[in-house]
Structures are given as C-alpha cells and as structure tokens.
Amino acid sequence: MGIIQTIKNLIKRSQYRMTTESLASITDHPKIAVTSAEYRRINENLRYYQSNAGKVTYTNTDGMTKQREMTVLPIARTASKKIASLVFNEQASIKLDDEQANEFIQETLKNDRFNKNFERYLESCLALGGLAMRPYVDNGRVRVSFIQAPVFLPLQSSTQDISSAAIVTKTIKASGQKNIYYTLIEFHEWANDGKYVITNELYRSDNQNVIGDRVPLAEIYEDLEEQVELNGLTRPLFSYLKPPGMNNKDINSPLGLSIFDNAKSTIDFINTTYDEFKWEVKMGQRRVAVPENLTETRMVNHDGDVQLVKRFDTEQNVYLRLSTNDMDGGSITDLTTAIRADDYIKTINEGLSLFEMLLGVSAGMFTFDGQSLKTATEVVSENSDTYQMRNSIVSLVEQSLKELIISICELGSLYGLYSGTIPQMEKIAINLDDGVFTDKNNELDYWTKALASGIVSKAHAIQKAFNMSEADAKNMIQAINQETMDTANSQRSQQDIDIYGE
C-alpha cells in the first residue's frame, strides 16, 4: 500500500472517531422512516412464514410443569407459495419493442436465471409484505439482487412509491472464541441537484441483537466506497413491490402488508386445533391394564439351562401394569379412549374456510371435501375471487418488472454495458400466462366478435387475444396479408396471368 493511500485511510479512520454513532436497533437511525412497531410486525410475519409457533407449556399428572414443541400446519407458507405460483411461473415472458434493448434484457435475465429466482422471491413478498429488486454490476454483467422485507427500510416516500430506502446486509466474522456481528447499511437517496447518491455505513457489535458502533468500511469491505454518485438515473435504482391493499396496521406506512397479516388469529386457531388433535391421537393410542402377576418374569431350569420367560413384549407400550388389588377382579381391562377425529377435522376445515375468506380467495382453495375433482370450466367459473386477487397482484408485478427493466438499462448504460435507448413503460410487454383461469377459446371468440363488429382494430384484437406487444401484432398482420397475397397468386389461372401479368 502506498504512502498516500495510507494517509487517506488514517484520515477516514479519524473521521469515524469524530462521528461515532451507536445503534441499538436499525430503526434508531435518524434517516430511517420506519417505526419500531412496523419493523416488529415484519419480523412477526417471518415467524408465521417459518411456522415457528414456539412451545406449549402444560402440567403432567405428577403436577410438574413441562414444555413440548407445538405441532403446526405450515398454512402461511402454503398460502404464499400457492398464490405466488398462480401469479408468476417460469413460462412468463418479457419483451421490448426496441430490438437492441430487448436483446440486452433477454441476455441479462437469462444469465441471471431471473424467472426462476423471481418466482421464489415473490412467495417471500406475499408472505412478508414486500420485496425490492436492485440491479448491480458484477464481472461485466448486470445482475439482479432481491432484497426481502426485513432488510428493506424506506427513508422517504410519496403517496405513490418509495423514492429513497436503506438496504441492510448482515455479516458474521469469527474473532477467537466469539463471533463479531457486522451490519452494513446502504442508503439510496436523491441529492438536491438530482444526483442519485449511495452511502454506505458499517456497524459492529458483539451482540447479534444489537447493531452496535459505527466502524470503518475497511474492516471487512476493502473496496467499498463510503459514497457513490450516479448521474443519469430517472428513477430509484431499486424497484419495490408490495401486495395489493391498504396497510391498515399503519395507514401512514409506505410498506405493504402480508397476505395473511389480518388472518394471524385464524392461523393461531388452526394451529392450536391441529396441535390438540395430534396430541389427542397420541394420548388415545391403545392402553390395556394388565394384572401385575401376568407381567412377572420367571427363571426356568430346562435341561440345565437357565431361560427367561416373558409374559409380554417389553418393547410394547400398550400394556399398563397395575397391582392386582387396584384392578376389578384382576382381569385384563381395555383403557383406550375414543379419538374425536371427526370433530377436530370439521373444526380445522372451518378454520381453513375462514382463512380463505380473510385472504380473499375462493372457497375450497385450501379445504377439500374429498368428493370430486374440478374441471377446468368449473375452476374458471368458481374461482372468481381468486382470479380477482390474482389480477390485483399481477398488475403490481407487471409495473414493478417494468420499472426494473428501465433500471437495468440505465445502470447498463452508466457502466458502458448497454448503448441503446432507455425503453419507455408502454413499450415493455409483460406476459404472465393465466391459462389456469382463462378459457382461451372464449377469449378468442370474444375478440373475434369485437373485431367483426368494427369496434376494435385488428392490431388491438390480436394484442388482447394473444397477449402480444403492439409491434408483434403489426408484424403478424403483415405476415397474414403476405400469406393472403401468396395464396391468391397461387390460385390464379394461367390465362389470368397472361392477361394481367403476375
């Protein structure tokens, strides 16, 4: 390391000593505009998503207090996964009208396996209430980083969107016999002159539950700058996606709610009932009271050998040995109690039905009557609530993906990886296949009739019927016209060609 660089590092370290900050919690930072209650709510959503219900405390027959793990249904994760798969899958496509921009985006998304990753992280978005996507440059390529709700905190926001945010990254480093916990806070802000500024702050702590004291970046990030200014960005470098609906937990918060945020008490009810059901099954296993004299073992001398004779298998837990005096008549007695399976199953299904209502999906999405499978037509007609919920999420996903595409192109342009024009929102076509709900024949029939009646153009009808961009629809019209002309020419008689020419 050169002398000049050494002096610069010493100056940086002295600046940190003069501006030392200490944070107990991430929400204590003066720049972060998230209340501690909102931050706790997000972490509580994570606990439900992980199916972490804690322990059950009970008193046994000896009067001793015991604890056991609660048995739960992963209903929060199941709901998030199922709805995410209805909204987005690997068959989804993104196309741009501009050929150069489309080629750059397709190559970027393909190399980063974006479709596969986004389907997984969309599940996290629905479960935790939000997801941010930030493009970055790595080894000459633009890649996309997914920032989940617990580590994405807004700084400033308008009524429409979050314009500035903090992204938190945690790192653990071993130091002797103990761990050191580092927290990197990456601030994305707009300066007064319109420049986009990224500021990095590093904090260190011996306690994983405390953010700790601010330290120089060089402790673990040698090449990371304290501040970077980017010119030419028209929007934040990140794109924030949240589930539809108002945040009724904090109406002033720009953060979204989990799809099950208002159904947590119902999830608790389902889990409690399921845990009691399983415990009853365990307690209801077969029990037989056996007189003590029937369980005794004897030593029998047979031909000089000593042999142990057992009345019952010692590995069995079915038999309960009691003193003959404690038993009526000294006979074998069945102590097994009936399991209330039907009552518990009915109660769990009632809870699941309530959960479906609170989520806003159609009845039967999580419950099953065991009678019959649904046909495709019945799914389309009966899943109207699920379809409406999906459409609400789809519109937000499409908007967020379009914003991400623009940010990828702008970042690629700043680093010389892309030389084309920055695409406009309306020139980006997002195709999220909804074949599960949409009857393609009915869709085609609808737009064919609309075209025949003259109320829509051919290009518009093709766009809607086949979910194409405007450019692709016009190309299809040209191909159809050319095929029509070729067919007409092939059907002309030789005499007609001789008179009128080819």
Q: Band of the pLDDT at 439, cuts 50, 70, 90? A: low
* Reported confidence tier of residue 443, pLDDT bands at 50, 70, 90: confident
Per the structure block, which two tokens stand in for 179?
């761990």
Residue 105 near residue 144, CB atoms below 8 Å:
no
- Are 395 and 329 part of one and the same domain? no
CB atoms within 10 A of CB 69: 10
> Total domain count for the chain?
2
Q: How far is CA 343 from the centre of its chain?
A: 34
Each residue's pLDDT tens digit, 50-79 = 999 888 887 766 678 888 888 899 999 999
Beta bridge partners of 196: 190, 230
**How many other CB atoms are there within 10 angstroms of residue 418's CB atom?**
21
Average of per-residue pLDDT across 315-344: 62
Q: Has residue 318 been placed in a domain?
A: yes
Q: Is residue 34 part of a domain?
A: no
Residue 261 and residue 45 in contact, taking contact as beta carbons nearer than 8 Å: yes
Between the two ends of the chain, the Cα-to-Cα distance in Å is 80
Q: Token pair 């609400």 is at which residue?
A: 392
Position 498 pLDDT exceeds 80: no
| Assigned domain for 219 exists | no
Asked whether residue 325 is domain-assigned, the answer is yes
In this prediction, residue 421 has a pLDDT band, given cuts at 50, 70 and 90, of very high
Q: Which of 298, 316, 336 is the last residue before a domain boundary?
A: 336
**For residue 301, is pLDDT > 70?**
no
Do residue 323 and residue 393 come from a single domain? Answer: no
Is 76 inside any structural domain? no
Residue 292: pLDDT band with limits 50, 70, 90: low
Residue 433, domain member (yes or no):
yes
Verify that 400 and 311 share a domain, yes or no: no
pLDDT at 338 over 80: no
pLDDT digit string (tens) for 202-247? 999 999 999 999 999 999 998 899 999 998 899 999 999 999 999 9
Mean pLDDT of 100-108: 95
Q: How many CB atoms lie within 10 A of CB 296?
A: 11
Q: What is the pLDDT of residues 119-159, one digit of tens each?
A: 899 999 999 999 999 999 998 999 999 999 999 999 977 65
Least confident interval from 235-244, 370-379, 386-395: 370-379
Range of the domain at 396: 385-500
Residues 330 and 397 placed together within one structural domain of the fold: no
- Greater pLDDT, 320 or 206: 206
Q: In terms of domains, do 322 and 399 share one? A: no
Q: What is the mean pLDDT of the chain?
A: 82
Give the model's pLDDT for residue 187: 95
The CA distances from residue 285 to 60, 61, 172, 327, in Å, are 17, 17, 47, 21
Residue 103 confidence (pLDDT) above 60: yes
Task: From 296, 311, 336, give the residue that closes a domain.
Answer: 336
Query: Which of 50 and 281 is assigned the larger pLDDT?
Result: 50
The arithmetic mean of pLDDT across residues 247-264, rounded, is 93
Helix (H/G/I), strand (E/B), else coil: 308: strand
Q: Is residue 455 in a domain?
A: yes
Q: Mean of the pLDDT values across residues 249-254?
A: 90
Half-sphere exposure of 362 (CA within 13 A, CB side): 16
pLDDT above 70 for 13: no
Determine, yes or no, domain membership for 449.
yes
Q: In terms of domains, do 407 and 492 share one? A: yes
Do 481 and 405 share a structural domain? yes
Rounded CA-CA distance 409/116 in Å is: 21
- Using CA atoms, how far apart are residues 143 and 113, in angstroms rounded to an integer? 10
Greater pLDDT, 200 or 372: 200
pLDDT at 161 (0 to 100): 77
- 100's CB contacts (< 8 A; 6+ apart) are 419, 420, 421
DSSP code per residue over 49-106: HTT---EEEEE-TTS-EEEEEPP---HHHHHHHHHHHHH--TT-EEEESSHHHHHHHH
Q: Does residue 324 sit in the same domain as residue 396?
A: no
Co-location of 405 and 322 in the same domain: no
Q: Which of 392, 389, 129 is nearest to 253 (CA)?
A: 129
From 314, 336, 358, the end of a domain falls on 336
Entry pTM: 0.77
User: Which helix H or strand E contains 289, and what residues bound it?
Assistant: strand 288-291
8-state DSSP, 30: T
pLDDT at 19 over 50: no
pLDDT band at 180 (very low <50, low <70, confident <90, very high): very high
Joined tokens for residue 292: 């003590």
Q: Are residues 401 and 472 in the same domain?
A: yes
